Amino acid sequence: MRVSVALFTADLRVHDNPVLDGALREAESVVPLFVIDSGIRDADFVVPNRAAFLADCLADLDAALRARGGRLVVRRGEVVQETCRVAARVGAGAVHV
């Protein structure tokens, strides 16, 4: 079975998302991924209300994915390293960014 990872970054919507659409076209199984890296976690603009907004957006994205039979995988760390770890764990043949 072909597996792909769809890495969500700034575009956290399911409808008309080119990253997700590309992954779904190529693979039988797609792992949606969002990585909270130090650029997000340690940025000067991350105040409690913005962190809560991001958490709400990720929860909404996960709910939309669950309604379609998937679920959002969220990791903390360096984006490339965490994406490679998830891709290796699920046996992904491609990562869509």
Beta strands in 1-97 (DSSP E): 3-8, 29-36, 73-76, 94-96
Instruction: Quote the mean pLDDT of the chain.
Output: 93
Question: Whole-prediction pTM value?
Answer: 0.91
pLDDT value of position 52: 85
- Closest among 6, 15, 4, 11 to 58, alpha carbons compared: 11
Q: pLDDT confidence of 48, banded at 50, 70, 90?
A: confident
For the segment 68-96, what is each residue's pLDDT rounded down to a tens digit? 999 999 999 999 999 999 999 999 999 99
CATH for 3-96?
Answer: 3.40.50.620
CA distance 23 to 25: 5
* Number of neighbouring beta carbons within 10 Å of residue 36: 17
Q: pLDDT confidence of 51, banded at 50, 70, 90?
A: confident
